Each structure stands twice: as C-alpha cells, then as structure tokens.
Chains A and B, each alone.
Chain A
Amino acid sequence: MRIVLFAAFATLLIGFAPVEVKAADGNVELTHQEWSFDGVFGRFDRQQLQRGFQVYREVCSSCHGLDYIAFRNLEAIGYSEDQTKVLASEYIIEECCDDQGDIFDRPAIPADYMPNPYPNDQFARASNNGALPPDLSLMSKARHGGPDYVYSLINGYEEPSAEVEAEMMDGMYYNVAFEGNQIAMAQQLFDDLLEYSDGTPATAEQMATDVAAFLHWAAEPKLEIRKQTGVRVLLFTFVFTVLAYFLKRRIWADIEH
C-alpha cells in the first residue's frame, strides 16, 4: 500500500514537472546540439566563448546591446586583465560630465559595461525599419530552447515557398526557428564573413554555434561554479542521507512497526 501511495504521489509530481506552455503556433523548428556546458559536469569551452565574443563584436554588436556584460567580465572567458583593458579601450564612452558640465568622450575601461549601439529605443527602431533589436545579455534564458534556439534562429534562414512568400510582410525575412516565421533581422552570418583569431574555419554554422555558446555564457555566467558547487553539495547530502537512514533504522530497531 505504501509503495502504491508513493508511486501515486511521484506521478503527481512528475505530472506537475513537465507543465510547459506550447508555443501558440507549432511552426518553430529547433536544432538540438551538444554543448560543452550541458550535463552534470558541464564546462564552458573558453576558446569557443572567445570566438563567439568575436562574432558578437564584429557582427551582432552593430545592432544588439549586451547591457549586463562589463569588459571586466571577459576575464571569465579566458582573457587576461591586460587584454580586457585593451579590448575596452577600443570603445568610446560618453561620460557626464567634466568640470565645466560638458559631456566628454573617453576610452572605456574594464569596469565599463558594453556600450549599446543605439542611444535609445526610438533611435534603434528608426534605424531598423521599425523593429527593435533586443538586448542579447539574457537571450539564452529568455527563449524556449536556450542556446539551441539562438543557434537555430541565426541559422534558420531559408527560401520560403512561393505561397508563403506572397503572404510575407515587406522587409521581413523567412526563418524556420522564429515564431510566426517572419523576422525583421536579415541573415547575418555567411561563410568566411570574418577571420577567427584562433584559425578555426569561420563557416556560418561554426559562427552560429560559437555565438550561441557565448550568449549562453552571457546569460548564465555562473553556470560552471553552479554545477561544481552542486556536485559537492549533492555528494555531501547523499552521505548525510545514507547516514541518516541507518541512524533512523538503528533508533527504530526496538519499535515494532
């Protein structure tokens, strides 16, 4: 009887667990990939994150902000302190204000956050046919599928069928991974668009994978310490639970039940 009760409650819990809202239209196709940061012991591949950062910097950053990432954070993806200083100094920050009350320009320092490509949302919309390029800091956690979504979206441009094309709105592009399949962003990544500093061949697919990994790091920078802490905490808890079990049995040995 007890086992039946437990099984029933377990079913109840499992019944709750996968409650997930289905997208309104079922027309989103995601490609699942194996990521180095998946699994119990998942770690980021620093080389990959640096390549992804290069893609962000040379391609995405012309329209998309990365508001929650400061240059100092880049040390976490394998750059030295000096390198982050150099990387930061390539950007210009508008600072308010000097002794005269005037806004002045200065090179960025590691403590600065990534400058947004646009001064405000209206400007961003005006520059992008009315569409607002979203900030990418949390993109990997703000969409179902996470890094798979980001990868699939960037790689999801296809030729629409004639009838679909007839229904497309002006200035929109067909994308299999985007909800509704019409996206305001044109395809951005093409083979050999840039040259990776580590010599990896820059295929469109490689760049999409790398930038998706980079954006997952940007969204969840504590992933590694989280999983490492988790392993230690769980091992401790497991030993505690086993000891508690035997303690309980020993204490209860004299009780008929």
Chain B
Amino acid sequence: MSTEKSWGTQAFDWFEERLPIVSFIDHTVGSKYPAPKNLNYFWNFGVLAGFVMVVMILTGILLAMSYTPHVDYAFQSVERIMRDVNSGWLLRYMHANGASFFFIVVYIHIFRGLFYGSYKSPREVLWWLGVIIMILMMATAFMGYVLPWGQMSFWGATVITNLFSAIPVIGDYIVTLLWGGFSVDNPTLNRFFALHYLLPFVLVGVVVLHIWALHIPGSNNPLGINATAKDKIPFHPYYTAKDAFGLGVFLLAYFTVVFWFPNAMGHTDNYIPANPLSTPAHIVPEWYFLPFYAILRSIDDKLTGVILMFGSLLILFVIPWLDTSRVRSATFRPIFKVLFWVFLADCVMLTWCGAQLAEGLPLLLSRIGTFWYFFHFLVLMPVVGWIETPRPLPTSISTPVVAKPAE
C-alpha cells in the first residue's frame, strides 16, 4: 500500500518520462536551481525584465489585431484602438509605457551587472547575450515608435535611418533598403511593422540562451565571490517569493504611470499625424535613446558621430577584457566603486543633454560626457584594475553574513 503511487503521480511520471518539461522548468527557475543566498533586490530585475517582455508581447499581439500599417490609416487605427476597441486604451497605454519600463528595468539590470562585475569570467557569454538583447530591444522599440505614424514617429524614423547614409560607399544603398524607396514612406512603415512583430520573438530566443548561459556558472552575487553549495538556496521558494514581492513593487510603479500619467513619457508631437512637409522644431527620440542621441550629436562629423553612437553599445562586448581586475564586486574595489557612480552620473547627464538642443552648454556637456563614457571603459577600467588594491575578500558568503553585527 505504502509504495503504491496515486493515480495523479503515475500520470505525471508517465508524462515526465516522455517530455520532462516540468522538471526542466524546476531546474530553470524552481527548486532545482541553487542560487546564492545573499542576492539583494537588484537581482530582481532579470525576472522583472522577463515579465515586462511577456506583457509587451501579449499586449502587442492584441494591438496588432486592430492596427493598420498604412500611412493613410496607421494614425487613425491607433485612435480607433484608443476609442472603439474594447479596453484598447489600456492595451496601448500598457504597451507604450511598457516599453519605457522595459528599458528602466533593463538599464538597472545592466548597471547592477557593471557594479557587481557580473560580466567577468566565467560569465562573458552571458554578458554578450545580454548586450545583444539590449540592442534587439532598441531596434524593436525604435520601430515600434514609428508605427503610430505621428510627427515624432515620422521624423524620428527619418533622422535615425539617415544615420546609415554616413557609412562610406554602401551607406545610401542601405538607407534605400531600409526605406524601401527614396524617403520614409509606406514601404518603410510596412517593413518596420513586420520587423517590429518579428524581433520580439528573436529576442525571446536570445533570452532563452541568456538564461541557459546563466545556469552554467549560476548567478553572481553581491560579494562577487564564488558561492559554494552550502551558501546556496533553491530558487523556489526563496527567490520566487522574493521576486513576487519585487514584482508587486514594480507593478505599483508601472500601473501608476499607465493609469494616471500614460502620456508623461511620450512626446506631445506624436499626437499630430505625420506630415512630411512640416518638420518639428525639435526632433527628440524617446527618453531611453537620449544618452546615445547625445553621443551622436556631440561630434560635428556625421560618420564619427554614428561610429561613436554604435561604438558606445558595441564597447560593452569587450568590457570583460577591458576590466583587468579579478575582483568582481565593486564593494571591494574602492577606486572602481567611485568611478562606477561617476559613470552612472555621466549617463544621466548624457540623457539630459540628449533632450536639449545641441548647442551651448548641453553641447559642451555632451562632448565631456561622451569623452568620459569611452574614457571610463577604454582607459580607467584597465588602469584601475592594475593600480587598485582591493579590500580583502571574504572567504565565503557565510563569513561576512554571520559576522555582521545584529541590526
């Protein structure tokens, strides 16, 4: 009697033998994934990014059912979604603000990686995949912003696609290919819609690889030292519970914006239908592109600006080797820690600069900010790694935890 399994367990085992998907999930984000026990709340943002991605895909699919990718109807179809489609306003506001929150969450996730040295050996490939995810997100977000076919959609698309014309020899050819013609027009909108629908699923694929690559070495932790088995706890229930609370806090912020400030992060000009004959006084991208836009405009030469802008993203691929320190966590690196905050401030400053007209003080600050951005990675990171004396590392995760005086 005691060895006999219940009917349910038998059915479950039968299925598991044939497709072990439940144990696969359990090994991925469940009780069979051991995670360091000292992860702080900054480690919530990976799960949050995954959550926002799902929200974006679900709302996006529903929006696509009522959207018309044609220059004569796109703006109108978005207004129809806002006015006549059941809960269409909610879908659109969740999607539009979801993009902003996706970037907020992912930027925090990236800065967490920069602070705690999560890009260092043995997590270089994990980091690469993260950078690819960010670039895919940017391409997707850019094309999504074009779809409502408002003034900022049209002129943003014009400015950004024109950047490719700076590439020698093949530049103009690439631009014509992007446009599907000789200006931003209906073919551009059509292909952007197709790609905006496609890229998120490519993104999902890369996210799967990202999580796979995470599970090879396991999660980094705030101390940056390798966690031994006794310092690890199962992801479920410990981190599922912690992530549930983090998700609640995130949702409070997200819903506050969606329901009370749905247009605060957008640009008013995008409620004016696209007009190729009328250029807005001041073309600005969405806030999450502003630091890169500031870098682009910091140099008078177009090609150099484009190289710097794309370089500011691509440089992230090589920082595992630019950082010469073997200590991961900035907690134990007195000089690097200060430089991290300076770098963060630099990015905030570039964001501000990107929203201003490229003249006078904002232009000067963009130049200083751009210089510092590259100086940080190309010079400070390697040099500080050599000259800095890190504070002594704890021998294990439990050591400092137990030694910490009671609060």
Q: Which residues of A are interface residues toward B (Cβ below 8 A)?
A: 1-2, 5-6, 8-9, 12-13, 15-17, 19-24, 40, 68, 73, 134, 137-138, 141-144, 179, 219, 221-222, 225-227, 229-231, 233-234, 237-238, 240-242, 244-245, 247-248, 251-252, 255-257
Contacts and interface: CB of A to CB of B under 8 A. Distances in A.
20 contacts: A9-B108, A12-B111, A17-B265, A20-B355, A137-B79, A143-B268, A179-B281, A226-B90, A226-B262, A227-B259, A230-B258, A231-B259, A234-B252, A234-B256, A237-B252, A244-B241, A248-B241, A248-B244, A252-B241, A256-B401
Interface stretch (B12-20, B36-44, B125-133, B370-378): B36-44
B90 A229 contact: yes
B260 A230 contact: yes
Contacts of A40: 260
A19 B241 contact: no
A6 B112 CA distance: 11
B248 A24 contact: no
Nearest 8 CB-CB pairs, A to B?
A: A230-B259, A241-B248, A142-B271, A244-B245, A222-B89, A248-B241, A244-B244, A141-B271
A252 B242 contact: yes
Interface stretch (B49-57, B187-195, B282-290): B282-290
Given A142-B272, A222-B89, A241 B259 contact: no
Contact of A141 (B238, B241, B263, B355): B263
A234 B93 CA distance: 16
B351 A68 contact: no
A237 B38 contact: no
A238 B356 CA distance: 37
Contact of A248 (B89, B242, B258, B401): B242
Contacts of B262: 226
Interface in B323-364: 331, 341, 344, 348, 351-352, 355-357
Contacts of B344: 8, 12
A135 to B, nearest CB: 9
Contacts of B233: 255
* B interface bracket (residues with beta carbon within 8 Å of A): 35 or more
B237 A237 contact: no
Contacts of A179: 281
Contacts of B348: 12, 15-16
A227 B260 CA distance: 7
A189 B99 CA distance: 42
Nearest to B93: A226
Contacts of A8: 341, 344
A5 B42 CA distance: 9
Contacts of B282: 21, 24
Given A19-B351, A20-B355, A142-B271, A257 B37 contact: yes
A179 B348 CA distance: 29
B271 A240 contact: no
Contact of A19 (B252, B271, B287): B287
A232 B335 CA distance: 48
B104 A138 contact: no
Contact of B79 (A22, A68, A134, A257): A68
Contacts of A227: 259-260
B161 interface: no
A226 B241 contact: no
Contact of A238 (B89, B245, B252): B252
